[in-house]
Structure 1
Amino acid sequence: MQRYLVGGALRDEFLGLPVADRDWVVVGATPKQMTAAGYTPVGRDFPVFLHPETREEHALARTERKSGHGYHGFVFHTGSDVTLEADLARRDLTVNAIARADDGSVIDPYGGRADLEAGVLRHVSDAFAEDPVRLLRLARYYARLAPLGFTVADKTMDLARAMVAGGEIDHLVPERVWAEMERALMGAEPQLFFYLLRATGALAIVLPELDRLFGVPQPVRYHPEIDSGVHTLLVLGQAARAKASLAARFAAICHDFGKAITPKDILPSHRGHEERGIAPTEAASERLGVPKRLRQTARLITRWHTHLHRIDELRPGTVLKVLEALDAFRRPERIEDLIAVCAADVRGRLGYEHHAYPQADKIRKAREAARVIDGAAIAGRGLEGPEIGRALRAARIRAIAATI
């Protein structure tokens, strides 16, 4: 029985990046031997154990055979006869197919270290095409490593496109798509994840609502980049640079979905795209299994983002309407998410990357002015039922008017 450090921990260590999680593969052992040694079994699909002290995951060396479509379409074989090289052969990319023994010796049968030095993401074997999740992982690794100069090998791109053309990508399960997308969204350059998916043709299947934005024109007066898809990914990039929350980053992706279904006779104008964007935002969120909190935030920001842009033109009552729609008095984080997306929306245009966004302070001040109105005091004036609500709204409107 021998264990080896494998995968992302070694990759990141060799690249000089922070190492988050360490995974191990164990060769020459059985599940019974692992439990006898004090390891805790946790694997559902194949034997994985937690180390009795470090709690790091240790998986028995395994091979796999394609038995159906999608992520679950595999039969796994584990046993003391499975070699380290056979285990590494089933991994996705060469840079993840490197191992190191406890004595410090490195096992690299597929040229992963050379690809790290060359800055290339390359599949280990054609078995890459058997699991559609690997295409998502490729896009996520690309988004993370492209800023370091990494590119995707031509043959790997060809294989990824073949996966899409052959229909394997159609068998992705929503929870796996969202798991990879969530991790990509929280990266430093999440827009690259979606660009890579689009280059393979997978974006039209994974997130067609975003894919349909490409090629849709916007007025050049306001959008020098013109293309709605390009603009959306510029907005996402700006949201990431501002360290926006996951909810805001997902909303940044969705906020202009309505532009893909703008009537052609009014292009390049997009009047009403906010309302039109609600249905595709809901459809994408439902299909991907996006958590309820994020889904609600994306829908609200899609609907109200241009109101914040125009806050100087709005009546105080309309400003209160926006705050009420966001439930901003109970959920102040929604105001911050709206601000993050709207500021990114302004800066996600060519030449506007450092543009100021004074609307942020105004909406914050408006919320605070309305929030501090004493509802109990109003109720104590002898008002009853709906009269209390009307009086509270009127007081909040006056407070907003006096503030902004």
Structure 2
Amino acid sequence: MQIFLVGGAVRDKLLGYPYSEKDWVVVGATHQEMIEQGFTQVGKDFPVYLHPQTKDEYALARTERKTGNGYTGFQFNSDPTITLEEDLARRDLTINAIAETETGDIVDPYNGQRDIQNKILRHVSHAFTEDPVRILRVARFAARYAHLGFTLAEETRLLMEQMVLNGEVDHLVSERIWKELYRALSEPTPTQFIETLRSCHALKKIMPELDALFGVPQPEQHHPEIDTGVHALLSLKRAASLSDSTRIRFAALIHDLGKGTTPEETLPHHYGHEEEGVALVDHLCNRLSAPNEYRDLARICTRFHTHCHKAFELKPSTLLKVLEQTDAYRKPDRFEEFLICCQADAQGRTGKENTAYPQAEFLHRAYQVTSNINVKALLEQGITGKDLGEAIRRERLRQLKILKQAENKPNAHTE
């Protein structure tokens, strides 16, 4: 039995990049031998085991043979005669096909170290085309390492494009798409995930609502970048600089989906795109099996981002409706996330990245002055039931009128 450290831990150690998880491959062992040594099997489909002490994952060296569509259509062979080189050959990228011995020696049969040095994401072999998940993984690695200067090898991009044309991407399941998207959103350059998928035409299959934004114009006075798809990426980029929250980043990315359905005769204006976008957000999130909290934040960002941009123009009654309909009083933390999304939208424009966005602070104050109503005093006046709710609402309106009188600032954005 020989044990090797493989995959991400070796790759990131060579890169000097932080890592936490360690994966190991075991050569020359059987299932029974792993069980006898105290390992616990964790996969029904794969010969993967947890170490009895460290709980790291140990997998028997294996080869695989394509037997059907999608990423589940494989037959595995984990015979103890399988070599380390054969196991590494089935991996996606050369930078992930490097192993380290127990004494610290590097085993690199597919020149992964060279591609690390040259900062290239390159497939190991043509077997790459057998698993559509690899398209998502490559896009995620692009998001992870773009800030270090990594780029996608053209021959790998062409291979990914061919996989899309062959219909392999059509067999991806929603849970796996969401898993890779979620992980990509947490990376330093999440926009690169979307750009990579677009470069091989996979985005049109995976997120057609988002892909539809590219090439759609917007008014240049508000959007110097003009292209709506470019604006979506700039909003995501700005959101990533403002927050580590993947919910905020996701909402910023898809807040303008409604602009992809604007009738051509009204372009470059997008009247009513907020309402149009809500249904598209629902369709996208349902198809990707996105968690409810991601969908809900994206919905309110889509529906109310223009209200936030026009905050100083809104009447007190409209301000109160925004606070109520975004559920700010019951979910104040989400309301703060909404404000960050709106800031990312306003600053996600060419040359506007550092433009002040006082609307967010204004709406934050609007929430504060209307969330501390003295309900006890109203109860002492004998106001209860439906009358109490109406009294609270009147008091909130009164506070918003006072706030409005103290504010007299122009809007930074109107569309």
TM-score if structure 2 supplies the norm length? 0.95
Report Cα offsets for 1:235-277 as digits up to 9, x if no partner.
0000001124111111112110000111222111111110010
Q: What residue number does 1:72 align with?
A: 72
Cα offsets for 1:32-66 (capped at 9, x unmatched): 11121111221232111111221111111111111
Percent same amino acid at aligned positions? Answer: 52
- Partners of 1:380 and 1:62 lie apart in 2 by 74
Cα separation, 2, equivalents of 1:257 and 1:240: 19
Aligned to 2:351: 351
Matched-pair contact (CA < 8 Å) for 1:71–1:173: no
Q: Name the counterpart of 2:235.
A: 235
Q: What residue identity is the alignment partner of 2:207?
A: L
- Which structure 2 residues correspond to residues 182-331 of structure 1 after superposition, within 5 A? 182-331=182-331
Residues 147, 188 of structure 2: 8 Å contact kept? no
Counterpart of 1:178?
A: 178
| Aligned residue number for residue 394 of structure 2 | 394
- Aligned partner of 2:188: which letter? A
Q: Say if 2:327 and 2:335, in contact at 8 Å, map to a contact too.
A: no
- The aligned runs of 1:42-53 (5 Å cut-off) are 42-53=42-53
Aligned-pair CA distance for 1:400? 2.1
Check conservation: 1:191, 1:237, Cα contact below 8 A: yes
Partner of 2:91: 91
- Partner Cα separation in structure 2 for residue 279 and residue 30 of structure 1: 52
The answer for the alignment partner of 1:125 in structure 2 is 125
For residues 380 and 317 of structure 2, the distance between their equivalents in structure 1, rounded to whole angstroms, comes to 24
Gaps of 5+ in 1: none
TM-superposed deviation, 1:386: 2.0
- Aligned residue for 1:221, secondary structure, equals coil
64-73 or 44-53, which deviates more = 44-53
Distance in 2 separating the partners of 1:253 and 1:84:
41
What RMSD over aligned residues (CA atoms) do the two structures have, in Å? 1.1
Q: Report the Cα offset of residue 382 of structure 1.
A: 2.3
Distance in 2 separating the partners of 1:380 and 1:200: 66
Contact 1:219 1:269 in 2 (8 A): yes
Instruction: Give the distance between the partners of 2:100 and 2:197, measured in 1 at CA.
Output: 32
| Inter-partner Cα distance in structure 2 for 1:335 and 1:211 | 28
Question: 1:375 & 1:244 partners in 2: Cα distance?
Answer: 36
Which residue does 2:109 correspond to in 1? 109
**Deviation of residue 384 (structure 1)?**
4.0
Q: Is this contact kept in 2: 1:11–1:96, CA < 8 A?
A: yes
**Structure 2 unaligned blocks of 5 or more:** 405-415
| Equivalence for 2:412 | none
Q: Distance in 2 between matches of 1:256 and 1:266?
A: 16
CA distance in 2, matches of 1:182, 1:341: 17
CA distance in 2, matches of 1:79, 1:97: 20
| Separation in 2, partners of 1:179, 1:392 | 43
The one-letter amino acid paired with 1:161 is E
**Secondary structure of 2:364's match?**
helix
1:381, distance to aligned residue in structure 2 (A): 2.3
Structure 1 contact 244–340 (Cα < 8 Å) conserved: no
Q: 3-state DSSP class of the match of 2:369?
A: helix
